[in-house]
Structure 1
Protein backbone atom coordinates (compact mmCIF):
# COMPACT_ATOMS: atom_id res chain seq x y z
CA UNK A 1 0.00 0.00 0.00
CA UNK A 2 1.44 3.40 -0.99
CA UNK A 3 1.26 6.43 1.23
CA UNK A 4 -1.46 7.81 -1.06
CA UNK A 5 -3.74 4.83 -0.43
CA UNK A 6 -4.57 5.60 3.20
CA UNK A 7 -7.98 6.97 4.08
CA UNK A 8 -8.62 10.37 5.70
CA UNK A 9 -9.56 8.51 8.89
CA UNK A 10 -6.23 6.68 8.89
CA UNK A 11 -4.32 9.90 8.22
CA UNK A 12 -6.16 11.60 11.10
CA UNK A 13 -5.06 8.87 13.51
CA UNK A 14 -1.41 9.36 12.52
CA UNK A 15 -1.41 13.09 13.33
CA UNK A 16 -1.82 15.08 16.55
CA UNK A 17 -5.50 15.88 16.93
CA UNK A 18 -4.85 19.60 16.47
CA UNK A 19 -3.12 19.02 13.12
CA UNK A 20 -5.85 16.63 12.00
CA UNK A 21 -8.42 19.32 12.80
CA UNK A 22 -6.41 21.85 10.83
CA UNK A 23 -6.47 19.56 7.80
CA UNK A 24 -10.21 19.09 8.13
CA UNK A 25 -9.80 15.35 8.72
CA UNK A 26 -12.06 15.31 11.77
CA UNK A 27 -15.81 15.68 11.39
CA UNK A 28 -17.43 18.45 13.44
CA UNK A 29 -19.61 17.31 16.35
CA UNK A 30 -23.17 16.36 15.49
CA UNK A 31 -24.46 17.66 18.79
CA UNK A 32 -23.50 20.87 20.51
CA UNK A 33 -24.61 24.43 21.23
CA UNK A 34 -27.75 25.51 19.43
CA UNK A 35 -26.01 28.64 18.16
CA UNK A 36 -23.48 27.90 15.42
CA UNK A 37 -19.86 27.52 16.51
CA UNK A 38 -16.78 26.45 14.56
CA UNK A 39 -13.15 25.53 15.09
CA UNK A 40 -12.10 28.66 13.18
CA UNK A 41 -14.21 30.80 15.48
CA UNK A 42 -12.62 29.28 18.59
CA UNK A 43 -9.08 29.61 17.24
CA UNK A 44 -9.66 33.19 16.10
CA UNK A 45 -10.82 34.15 19.58
CA UNK A 46 -7.86 32.36 21.19
CA UNK A 47 -5.41 34.24 18.94
CA UNK A 48 -7.17 37.51 19.73
CA UNK A 49 -6.79 36.89 23.47
CA UNK A 50 -3.13 35.86 23.12
CA UNK A 51 -2.30 38.92 20.99
CA UNK A 52 -3.83 41.17 23.65
CA UNK A 53 -2.89 39.51 26.95
CA UNK A 54 -0.31 36.80 26.19
CA UNK A 55 -0.45 33.03 25.91
CA UNK A 56 -0.98 32.54 29.67
CA UNK A 57 -4.33 34.32 29.34
CA UNK A 58 -5.64 31.74 26.88
CA UNK A 59 -7.91 29.16 28.49
CA UNK A 60 -10.94 27.21 27.38
CA UNK A 61 -12.94 28.97 30.08
CA UNK A 62 -12.06 32.47 28.89
CA UNK A 63 -12.56 31.62 25.22
CA UNK A 64 -15.93 30.05 25.97
CA UNK A 65 -16.98 32.99 28.12
CA UNK A 66 -16.13 35.55 25.43
CA UNK A 67 -17.94 33.50 22.80
CA UNK A 68 -20.97 32.96 25.01
CA UNK A 69 -20.60 29.21 25.48
CA UNK A 70 -19.44 26.81 28.18
CA UNK A 71 -15.92 25.39 28.25
CA UNK A 72 -17.33 21.87 27.91
CA UNK A 73 -19.00 22.85 24.63
CA UNK A 74 -15.61 23.93 23.24
CA UNK A 75 -14.11 20.53 24.01
CA UNK A 76 -16.61 19.04 21.57
CA UNK A 77 -14.69 20.85 18.83
CA UNK A 78 -11.10 20.89 20.13
CA UNK A 79 -10.26 18.04 22.51
CA UNK A 80 -7.37 19.61 24.46
CA UNK A 81 -5.40 22.77 25.17
CA UNK A 82 -2.39 21.32 23.33
CA UNK A 83 -4.52 20.83 20.23
CA UNK A 84 -5.70 24.42 20.51
CA UNK A 85 -2.07 25.60 20.65
CA UNK A 86 -1.28 23.70 17.45
CA UNK A 87 -4.23 25.35 15.74
CA UNK A 88 -3.26 28.80 17.05
CA UNK A 89 0.29 28.38 15.81
CA UNK A 90 -0.99 27.28 12.43
CA UNK A 91 -3.39 30.23 12.26
CA UNK A 92 -0.50 32.64 12.88
CA UNK A 93 1.25 31.15 9.83
CA UNK A 94 -1.70 31.95 7.56
CA UNK A 95 0.03 34.91 5.93
CA UNK A 96 0.10 36.19 2.33
CA UNK A 97 3.20 34.99 0.50
CA UNK A 98 5.11 37.17 -1.98
CA UNK A 99 5.11 36.28 -5.68
CA UNK A 100 7.64 33.69 -6.74
CA UNK A 101 10.92 35.14 -8.01
CA UNK A 102 13.07 33.83 -10.89
CA UNK A 103 15.78 31.33 -9.84
CA UNK A 104 18.66 33.84 -10.05
CA UNK A 105 16.98 35.96 -7.35
CA UNK A 106 17.27 33.17 -4.77
CA UNK A 107 18.97 35.41 -2.22
CA UNK A 108 16.10 37.90 -2.34
CA UNK A 109 13.64 35.00 -1.97
CA UNK A 110 15.43 33.72 1.13
CA UNK A 111 15.52 37.24 2.59
CA UNK A 112 11.76 37.50 2.13
CA UNK A 113 11.27 34.17 3.88
CA UNK A 114 13.44 35.10 6.86
CA UNK A 115 11.99 38.58 7.29
CA UNK A 116 8.44 37.26 6.82
CA UNK A 117 9.03 34.67 9.53
CA UNK A 118 10.45 37.32 11.88
CA UNK A 119 7.29 39.35 11.30
CA UNK A 120 5.17 36.44 12.58
CA UNK A 121 7.04 36.53 15.90
CA UNK A 122 6.57 40.29 16.16
CA UNK A 123 2.91 40.30 15.16
CA UNK A 124 2.08 37.43 17.50
CA UNK A 125 4.51 37.74 20.47
CA UNK A 126 3.10 34.56 22.04
CA UNK A 127 4.07 32.44 19.04
CA UNK A 128 7.46 31.38 20.38
CA UNK A 129 5.98 30.70 23.84
CA UNK A 130 4.26 27.61 22.43
CA UNK A 131 6.46 24.53 22.99
CA UNK A 132 7.80 22.82 19.88
CA UNK A 133 5.76 19.62 19.61
CA UNK A 134 7.71 18.15 16.68
CA UNK A 135 8.17 18.79 12.98
CA UNK A 136 5.61 21.04 11.29
CA UNK A 137 2.62 18.93 10.19
CA UNK A 138 -0.26 21.44 10.11
CA UNK A 139 -1.30 22.95 6.75
CA UNK A 140 -0.22 26.58 7.14
CA UNK A 141 3.03 25.60 8.85
CA UNK A 142 3.83 23.35 5.91
CA UNK A 143 2.93 26.15 3.50
CA UNK A 144 5.67 28.21 5.18
CA UNK A 145 8.12 25.31 4.74
CA UNK A 146 7.12 25.07 1.09
CA UNK A 147 7.76 28.81 0.74
CA UNK A 148 11.27 28.36 2.17
CA UNK A 149 11.94 25.56 -0.33
CA UNK A 150 10.95 27.67 -3.36
CA UNK A 151 14.36 29.16 -4.17
CA UNK A 152 16.02 25.77 -3.64
CA UNK A 153 13.91 23.98 -6.25
CA UNK A 154 16.45 23.96 -9.10
CA UNK A 155 19.62 24.09 -7.05
CA UNK A 156 22.17 21.26 -7.24
CA UNK A 157 21.25 19.98 -3.80
CA UNK A 158 19.72 16.74 -2.59
CA UNK A 159 16.59 16.71 -0.45
CA UNK A 160 18.57 16.42 2.79
CA UNK A 161 20.67 19.47 1.88
CA UNK A 162 17.59 21.48 0.95
CA UNK A 163 15.89 20.76 4.26
CA UNK A 164 19.13 21.56 6.10
CA UNK A 165 19.25 24.98 4.42
CA UNK A 166 15.62 25.58 5.42
CA UNK A 167 16.42 24.59 9.02
CA UNK A 168 19.40 26.97 9.03
CA UNK A 169 17.28 29.87 7.78
CA UNK A 170 14.32 29.11 10.02
CA UNK A 171 16.56 28.79 13.09
CA UNK A 172 18.09 32.19 12.35
CA UNK A 173 14.64 33.69 11.77
CA UNK A 174 13.34 32.19 15.03
CA UNK A 175 16.30 33.53 17.02
CA UNK A 176 16.03 37.02 15.52
CA UNK A 177 12.24 36.98 15.77
CA UNK A 178 12.33 36.17 19.47
CA UNK A 179 14.95 38.89 20.07
CA UNK A 180 12.89 41.48 18.19
CA UNK A 181 9.78 40.35 20.06
CA UNK A 182 11.49 40.76 23.42
CA UNK A 183 12.72 44.23 22.45
CA UNK A 184 9.19 45.18 21.36
CA UNK A 185 7.79 43.94 24.68
CA UNK A 186 10.37 45.84 26.71
CA UNK A 187 9.76 49.08 24.83
CA UNK A 188 6.00 48.68 25.27
CA UNK A 189 6.64 48.17 29.00
CA UNK A 190 8.50 51.48 29.25
CA UNK A 191 12.07 50.77 28.19
CA UNK A 192 13.75 52.72 25.40
CA UNK A 193 15.49 51.92 22.15
CA UNK A 194 18.60 53.62 23.52
CA UNK A 195 18.74 51.06 26.33
CA UNK A 196 19.02 48.26 23.76
CA UNK A 197 21.53 50.03 21.57
CA UNK A 198 23.54 50.89 24.67
CA UNK A 199 23.71 54.63 23.99
CA UNK A 200 22.58 55.34 27.55
CA UNK A 201 25.63 53.53 28.89
CA UNK A 202 28.37 54.79 26.55
CA UNK A 203 30.12 57.16 28.96
CA UNK A 204 29.92 54.73 31.90
CA UNK A 205 31.37 51.88 29.85
CA UNK A 206 34.22 54.02 28.59
CA UNK A 207 35.05 54.76 32.22
CA UNK A 208 34.73 51.15 33.42
CA UNK A 209 36.24 49.10 30.57
CA UNK A 210 40.03 48.96 30.91
CA UNK A 211 42.37 47.67 28.22
CA UNK A 212 44.27 45.40 30.64
CA UNK A 213 41.04 43.66 31.77
CA UNK A 214 39.20 43.56 28.45
CA UNK A 215 41.91 43.76 25.80
CA UNK A 216 39.67 42.90 22.83
CA UNK A 217 36.46 44.57 24.00
CA UNK A 218 38.23 47.82 24.97
CA UNK A 219 38.86 49.17 21.42
CA UNK A 220 35.27 48.27 20.39
CA UNK A 221 33.83 50.22 23.32
CA UNK A 222 36.14 53.17 22.70
CA UNK A 223 35.17 53.31 19.01
CA UNK A 224 31.48 53.50 19.90
CA UNK A 225 30.62 50.33 17.98
CA UNK A 226 29.58 48.43 21.12
CA UNK A 227 26.84 50.90 21.99
CA UNK A 228 25.74 51.74 18.46
CA UNK A 229 27.06 55.30 18.51
CA UNK A 230 28.17 55.08 14.90
CA UNK A 231 25.12 53.33 13.44
CA UNK A 232 24.58 56.29 11.12
CA UNK A 233 27.92 55.46 9.51
CA UNK A 234 27.15 51.76 9.28
CA UNK A 235 27.08 50.67 5.62
CA UNK A 236 26.23 46.99 6.18
CA UNK A 237 22.68 47.46 7.50
CA UNK A 238 21.16 46.16 10.71
CA UNK A 239 22.54 43.30 12.80
CA UNK A 240 19.78 41.03 11.45
CA UNK A 241 20.58 41.90 7.85
CA UNK A 242 24.32 41.55 8.38
CA UNK A 243 23.95 38.08 9.89
CA UNK A 244 21.52 37.00 7.18
CA UNK A 245 23.84 38.16 4.40
CA UNK A 246 26.70 36.14 5.88
CA UNK A 247 24.46 33.05 6.00
CA UNK A 248 23.52 33.62 2.35
CA UNK A 249 27.21 34.03 1.51
CA UNK A 250 27.84 30.62 3.08
CA UNK A 251 24.98 29.03 1.13
CA UNK A 252 26.31 30.59 -2.09
CA UNK A 253 29.79 29.26 -1.40
CA UNK A 254 28.35 25.78 -0.78
CA UNK A 255 26.34 25.97 -4.02
CA UNK A 256 29.39 27.01 -6.03
CA UNK A 257 31.33 24.13 -4.55
CA UNK A 258 28.50 21.73 -5.39
CA UNK A 259 28.33 22.99 -8.99
CA UNK A 260 32.07 22.55 -9.56
CA UNK A 261 32.17 19.20 -7.78
CA UNK A 262 34.81 20.35 -5.30
CA UNK A 263 35.03 18.45 -2.03
CA UNK A 264 37.37 20.76 -0.11
CA UNK A 265 35.92 22.58 2.89
Structure 2
Protein backbone atom coordinates (compact mmCIF):
# COMPACT_ATOMS: atom_id res chain seq x y z
CA UNK A 1 0.00 0.00 0.00
CA UNK A 2 1.46 3.35 -1.07
CA UNK A 3 1.06 6.40 1.12
CA UNK A 4 -0.33 9.50 -0.59
CA UNK A 5 2.25 12.22 -0.99
CA UNK A 6 1.32 15.47 0.80
CA UNK A 7 0.58 18.39 -1.57
CA UNK A 8 3.51 20.62 -2.41
CA UNK A 9 3.39 24.02 -0.73
CA UNK A 10 2.59 26.87 -3.15
CA UNK A 11 5.63 29.10 -3.49
CA UNK A 12 4.04 32.06 -1.70
CA UNK A 13 3.20 29.94 1.36
CA UNK A 14 6.64 28.29 1.23
CA UNK A 15 8.26 31.75 1.19
CA UNK A 16 6.17 32.82 4.19
CA UNK A 17 7.35 29.79 6.15
CA UNK A 18 10.96 30.26 4.98
CA UNK A 19 11.16 26.87 3.27
CA UNK A 20 11.29 27.99 -0.38
CA UNK A 21 14.46 27.42 -2.38
CA UNK A 22 16.65 30.47 -2.79
CA UNK A 23 17.26 31.79 -6.33
CA UNK A 24 20.39 30.46 -7.97
CA UNK A 25 21.19 33.59 -9.96
CA UNK A 26 20.76 37.30 -9.66
CA UNK A 27 21.84 39.96 -7.16
CA UNK A 28 22.64 38.31 -3.85
CA UNK A 29 23.32 40.57 -0.89
CA UNK A 30 21.57 43.55 -2.46
CA UNK A 31 18.23 41.77 -2.92
CA UNK A 32 16.08 39.57 -0.68
CA UNK A 33 12.44 38.58 -0.30
CA UNK A 34 12.32 40.68 2.88
CA UNK A 35 13.50 43.83 1.08
CA UNK A 36 11.01 43.28 -1.73
CA UNK A 37 8.11 42.87 0.71
CA UNK A 38 9.22 45.88 2.78
CA UNK A 39 9.22 48.07 -0.31
CA UNK A 40 5.83 46.78 -1.45
CA UNK A 41 4.25 47.41 1.96
CA UNK A 42 5.64 50.96 2.01
CA UNK A 43 4.11 51.62 -1.42
CA UNK A 44 0.73 50.22 -0.34
CA UNK A 45 0.71 52.15 2.94
CA UNK A 46 1.45 55.38 1.08
CA UNK A 47 -0.70 55.05 -2.04
CA UNK A 48 -2.92 51.98 -1.71
CA UNK A 49 -2.74 48.51 -3.19
CA UNK A 50 -3.16 49.90 -6.72
CA UNK A 51 0.31 51.42 -6.48
CA UNK A 52 1.92 48.00 -6.02
CA UNK A 53 3.28 46.30 -9.10
CA UNK A 54 6.42 44.32 -9.72
CA UNK A 55 7.71 47.20 -11.84
CA UNK A 56 6.98 49.80 -9.14
CA UNK A 57 8.61 47.71 -6.42
CA UNK A 58 11.65 47.07 -8.62
CA UNK A 59 11.98 50.79 -9.38
CA UNK A 60 11.83 51.59 -5.65
CA UNK A 61 14.68 49.16 -5.01
CA UNK A 62 16.68 50.19 -8.08
CA UNK A 63 16.43 46.83 -9.86
CA UNK A 64 14.69 45.48 -12.95
CA UNK A 65 11.33 43.68 -12.64
CA UNK A 66 12.94 40.46 -13.91
CA UNK A 67 15.34 40.43 -10.99
CA UNK A 68 12.37 40.47 -8.58
CA UNK A 69 10.81 37.44 -10.26
CA UNK A 70 13.82 35.38 -9.23
CA UNK A 71 12.76 35.92 -5.62
CA UNK A 72 8.96 36.37 -5.81
CA UNK A 73 7.69 34.65 -8.93
CA UNK A 74 4.11 36.02 -8.98
CA UNK A 75 2.27 39.12 -7.81
CA UNK A 76 -0.23 36.96 -5.89
CA UNK A 77 2.68 35.60 -3.85
CA UNK A 78 3.86 39.16 -3.19
CA UNK A 79 0.37 40.18 -1.97
CA UNK A 80 0.28 37.19 0.37
CA UNK A 81 3.70 38.07 1.80
CA UNK A 82 2.73 41.73 2.18
CA UNK A 83 -0.37 40.77 4.12
CA UNK A 84 1.63 38.38 6.25
CA UNK A 85 4.18 41.06 7.15
CA UNK A 86 1.61 43.80 7.81
CA UNK A 87 -0.42 41.50 10.01
CA UNK A 88 2.48 40.59 12.27
CA UNK A 89 1.90 38.54 15.41
CA UNK A 90 -0.88 39.12 17.95
CA UNK A 91 0.44 41.17 20.89
CA UNK A 92 1.70 39.10 23.81
CA UNK A 93 -0.35 41.37 26.08
CA UNK A 94 -3.46 39.49 24.89
CA UNK A 95 -2.36 36.53 27.02
CA UNK A 96 -2.47 38.70 30.14
CA UNK A 97 -6.16 39.57 29.74
CA UNK A 98 -8.53 37.81 32.10
CA UNK A 99 -10.99 35.32 30.62
CA UNK A 100 -11.94 34.20 27.13
CA UNK A 101 -14.24 37.16 26.50
CA UNK A 102 -11.71 39.88 27.30
CA UNK A 103 -9.07 38.12 25.23
CA UNK A 104 -11.34 37.79 22.21
CA UNK A 105 -12.44 41.40 22.52
CA UNK A 106 -8.79 42.44 22.75
CA UNK A 107 -7.98 40.47 19.59
CA UNK A 108 -10.94 42.12 17.84
CA UNK A 109 -9.68 45.60 18.74
CA UNK A 110 -6.13 44.79 17.61
CA UNK A 111 -7.36 43.51 14.25
CA UNK A 112 -9.44 46.66 13.71
CA UNK A 113 -6.31 48.71 14.42
CA UNK A 114 -4.37 46.62 11.88
CA UNK A 115 -6.90 47.51 9.18
CA UNK A 116 -6.67 51.18 10.12
CA UNK A 117 -2.88 51.11 9.80
CA UNK A 118 -2.91 49.08 6.57
CA UNK A 119 -6.31 49.57 4.88
CA UNK A 120 -4.97 48.08 1.63
CA UNK A 121 -5.09 44.67 3.34
CA UNK A 122 -8.86 44.78 2.88
CA UNK A 123 -8.38 44.88 -0.91
CA UNK A 124 -6.38 41.65 -0.99
CA UNK A 125 -8.77 38.93 -2.24
CA UNK A 126 -9.64 36.08 0.11
CA UNK A 127 -8.86 32.90 -1.81
CA UNK A 128 -9.03 30.41 1.04
CA UNK A 129 -7.52 29.89 4.46
CA UNK A 130 -4.31 31.95 4.79
CA UNK A 131 -1.92 29.15 5.71
CA UNK A 132 0.93 31.43 6.79
CA UNK A 133 2.73 31.81 10.14
CA UNK A 134 1.27 35.13 11.29
CA UNK A 135 -2.26 34.39 10.09
CA UNK A 136 -2.06 31.05 11.87
CA UNK A 137 -0.86 32.79 15.04
CA UNK A 138 -3.95 35.07 15.11
CA UNK A 139 -6.28 32.09 14.70
CA UNK A 140 -4.33 30.17 17.32
CA UNK A 141 -4.65 33.08 19.77
CA UNK A 142 -8.46 33.08 19.44
CA UNK A 143 -8.65 29.30 19.83
CA UNK A 144 -6.32 29.43 22.84
CA UNK A 145 -8.60 32.03 24.48
CA UNK A 146 -11.47 29.53 24.25
CA UNK A 147 -9.57 26.48 25.49
CA UNK A 148 -11.06 26.56 28.98
CA UNK A 149 -14.62 26.59 27.66
CA UNK A 150 -16.90 23.60 26.92
CA UNK A 151 -17.11 24.60 23.24
CA UNK A 152 -16.22 21.95 20.68
CA UNK A 153 -13.39 22.49 18.21
CA UNK A 154 -15.91 23.38 15.48
CA UNK A 155 -17.58 25.91 17.76
CA UNK A 156 -14.30 27.51 18.80
CA UNK A 157 -13.31 28.01 15.17
CA UNK A 158 -16.77 29.47 14.47
CA UNK A 159 -16.36 32.00 17.30
CA UNK A 160 -12.83 32.89 16.10
CA UNK A 161 -14.19 33.50 12.59
CA UNK A 162 -16.95 35.71 14.01
CA UNK A 163 -14.34 37.87 15.75
CA UNK A 164 -12.21 38.12 12.60
CA UNK A 165 -15.24 38.80 10.40
CA UNK A 166 -16.55 41.58 12.63
CA UNK A 167 -13.11 43.19 12.75
CA UNK A 168 -12.81 43.03 8.96
CA UNK A 169 -16.28 44.51 8.41
CA UNK A 170 -15.47 47.37 10.80
CA UNK A 171 -12.17 47.89 8.95
CA UNK A 172 -13.90 48.00 5.56
CA UNK A 173 -16.32 50.72 6.67
CA UNK A 174 -13.67 52.78 8.46
CA UNK A 175 -11.33 52.53 5.47
CA UNK A 176 -14.16 53.79 3.26
CA UNK A 177 -14.73 56.82 5.47
CA UNK A 178 -10.99 57.50 5.58
CA UNK A 179 -10.88 57.41 1.77
CA UNK A 180 -13.89 59.78 1.65
CA UNK A 181 -12.05 62.20 3.92
CA UNK A 182 -8.88 61.99 1.85
CA UNK A 183 -10.70 62.53 -1.45
CA UNK A 184 -13.01 65.32 -0.27
CA UNK A 185 -10.72 67.14 2.14
CA UNK A 186 -13.40 66.86 4.82
CA UNK A 187 -12.79 65.64 8.34
CA UNK A 188 -14.43 62.41 9.50
CA UNK A 189 -17.04 64.43 11.41
CA UNK A 190 -17.79 66.53 8.33
CA UNK A 191 -18.20 63.39 6.22
CA UNK A 192 -20.70 62.08 8.76
CA UNK A 193 -22.64 65.37 8.71
CA UNK A 194 -22.77 65.35 4.90
CA UNK A 195 -23.90 61.73 4.88
CA UNK A 196 -26.66 62.49 7.38
CA UNK A 197 -27.81 65.44 5.26
CA UNK A 198 -27.96 63.26 2.14
CA UNK A 199 -30.04 60.64 3.96
CA UNK A 200 -32.26 63.41 5.27
CA UNK A 201 -33.01 64.56 1.71
CA UNK A 202 -34.08 61.20 0.28
CA UNK A 203 -35.49 59.11 3.16
CA UNK A 204 -39.18 59.72 3.84
CA UNK A 205 -41.31 58.46 6.72
CA UNK A 206 -43.83 57.02 4.26
CA UNK A 207 -41.37 54.86 2.36
CA UNK A 208 -38.78 54.00 5.02
CA UNK A 209 -40.46 54.65 8.40
CA UNK A 210 -37.95 52.84 10.63
CA UNK A 211 -34.92 54.38 8.91
CA UNK A 212 -36.54 57.82 9.06
CA UNK A 213 -36.99 57.48 12.82
CA UNK A 214 -33.34 56.47 13.17
CA UNK A 215 -32.25 59.54 11.18
CA UNK A 216 -34.43 61.80 13.31
CA UNK A 217 -32.81 60.26 16.40
CA UNK A 218 -29.40 61.37 15.04
CA UNK A 219 -28.01 57.89 14.56
CA UNK A 220 -25.64 58.97 11.77
CA UNK A 221 -24.15 61.69 13.97
CA UNK A 222 -23.88 59.53 17.09
CA UNK A 223 -20.39 59.02 18.57
CA UNK A 224 -21.32 55.45 19.55
CA UNK A 225 -19.40 52.61 17.87
CA UNK A 226 -22.01 50.27 16.32
CA UNK A 227 -19.38 47.68 15.43
CA UNK A 228 -18.11 47.38 19.00
CA UNK A 229 -21.73 47.12 20.16
CA UNK A 230 -22.34 44.31 17.66
CA UNK A 231 -19.17 42.48 18.71
CA UNK A 232 -20.15 42.70 22.38
CA UNK A 233 -23.60 41.25 21.58
CA UNK A 234 -22.02 38.39 19.62
CA UNK A 235 -19.92 37.62 22.68
CA UNK A 236 -23.06 37.82 24.84
CA UNK A 237 -24.51 35.09 22.66
CA UNK A 238 -21.37 32.96 22.98
CA UNK A 239 -21.48 33.44 26.76
CA UNK A 240 -25.13 32.36 26.86
CA UNK A 241 -24.29 29.31 24.74
CA UNK A 242 -21.41 28.37 27.06
CA UNK A 243 -23.70 28.82 30.06
CA UNK A 244 -26.25 26.46 28.46
CA UNK A 245 -23.52 23.85 27.92
CA UNK A 246 -22.42 24.21 31.56
CA UNK A 247 -26.04 23.58 32.65
CA UNK A 248 -26.16 20.39 30.61
CA UNK A 249 -28.22 21.80 27.75
CA UNK A 250 -26.81 20.77 24.38
CA UNK A 251 -28.06 23.25 21.74
CA UNK A 252 -27.95 21.86 18.23
CA UNK A 253 -25.63 24.08 16.16
CA UNK A 254 -26.47 24.64 12.49
CA UNK A 255 -24.49 22.37 10.20
CA UNK A 256 -25.64 23.44 6.73
CA UNK A 257 -23.83 26.15 4.82
CA UNK A 258 -25.82 28.91 3.13
CA UNK A 259 -25.43 28.20 -0.56
CA UNK A 260 -26.86 29.32 -3.87
CA UNK A 261 -28.67 26.59 -5.79
CA UNK A 262 -26.16 25.09 -8.29
CA UNK A 263 -28.80 25.59 -11.01
CA UNK A 264 -28.44 29.37 -10.53
CA UNK A 265 -24.69 29.19 -10.96
CA UNK A 266 -25.00 27.20 -14.19
CA UNK A 267 -25.85 30.39 -16.10
CA UNK A 268 -29.09 29.10 -17.64
CA UNK A 269 -30.44 31.86 -19.92
CA UNK A 270 -34.12 31.21 -19.25
CA UNK A 271 -33.56 31.24 -15.48
CA UNK A 272 -31.65 34.53 -15.69
CA UNK A 273 -34.42 36.07 -17.78
CA UNK A 274 -37.05 34.89 -15.28
CA UNK A 275 -35.05 36.29 -12.34
CA UNK A 276 -34.69 39.63 -14.14
CA UNK A 277 -38.46 39.69 -14.76
CA UNK A 278 -39.03 39.14 -11.02
CA UNK A 279 -36.63 41.98 -10.13
CA UNK A 280 -38.36 44.29 -12.62
CA UNK A 281 -41.77 43.35 -11.21
CA UNK A 282 -40.59 44.01 -7.64
CA UNK A 283 -39.19 47.38 -8.73
CA UNK A 284 -42.50 48.28 -10.41
CA UNK A 285 -44.40 47.20 -7.29
CA UNK A 286 -42.21 49.42 -5.09
CA UNK A 287 -42.84 52.34 -7.47
CA UNK A 288 -46.59 51.68 -7.37
CA UNK A 289 -46.56 51.59 -3.57
CA UNK A 290 -44.64 54.88 -3.59
CA UNK A 291 -47.30 56.49 -5.80
CA UNK A 292 -50.02 55.05 -3.57
CA UNK A 293 -48.42 56.53 -0.44
CA UNK A 294 -47.97 59.88 -2.18
CA UNK A 295 -51.61 59.91 -3.32
CA UNK A 296 -52.78 59.00 0.18
CA UNK A 297 -50.65 61.75 1.71
CA UNK A 298 -52.01 64.32 -0.73
CA UNK A 299 -55.58 63.12 -0.07
CA UNK A 300 -55.07 63.57 3.68
CA UNK A 301 -53.72 67.06 3.10
CA UNK A 302 -56.80 67.95 1.00
CA UNK A 303 -59.11 66.57 3.69
CA UNK A 304 -57.24 68.53 6.36
CA UNK A 305 -57.46 71.76 4.33
CA UNK A 306 -61.18 71.20 3.71
CA UNK A 307 -61.79 70.59 7.43
CA UNK A 308 -59.95 73.77 8.33
CA UNK A 309 -62.23 75.95 6.23
Look up the match of 2:174.
180
TM-align CA RMSD: 2.7
Give the drift of 1:27. Answer: 2.3
Q: What secondary structure is seen at the aligned counterpart in 2 of 1:227? A: helix
Of structures 1 and 2, the larger Rg is shown by: 2
Aligned partner (choices 200, 219, 226) of residue 219 of structure 2: 226
Aligned partner (choices 70, 80, 88) of residue 82 of structure 2: 88
Q: Structure 1-normalised TM-score?
A: 0.84
**CA distance in 2: counterparts of 1:209 and 1:42, whole angstroms:** 49
* Cα offsets for 1:187-234 (capped at 9, x unmatched): 1222332344347745982x8755444333343333x333326x4xxx
**CA distance in 1: counterparts of 2:154 and 2:251, whole angstroms:** 19
Look up the match of 2:210.
216
**Contact 1:64 / 1:71 at 8 angstroms: preserved in 2?**
yes
- Superposed, 1:17-56 pairs within 5 Å as 17-33=11-27, 35-56=29-50
**Contact 2:94 / 2:106 at 8 angstroms: preserved in 1?**
no
- Superposed, 1:150-229 pairs within 5 Å as 150-189=144-183, 190-198=185-193, 201=196, 205=200, 210-222=204-216, 224-228=217-221
* Cα offsets for 1:125-182 (capped at 9, x unmatched): 1101111121020111111111222211111111111111111111111101111111
Aligned partner (choices 131, 142, 148) of residue 136 of structure 2: 142
> Structure 1 residues 163 and 208, CA, compared in 2 at 3 Å: closer, same or farther?
closer
Q: What secondary structure is seen at the aligned counterpart in 2 of 1:126? A: helix
Query: Which of the pair has the greater relative contact order for Cα pairs under 8 Å at 6+ separation?
Result: 1
Aligned residue pairs total: 250
> Structure 1 residues 65 and 104, CA, compared in 2 at 3 Å: closer, same or farther?
closer
- The structure with the greater share of residues assigned to helix is 2
> Structure 1 residues 117 and 203, CA, compared in 2 at 3 Å: closer, same or farther?
closer
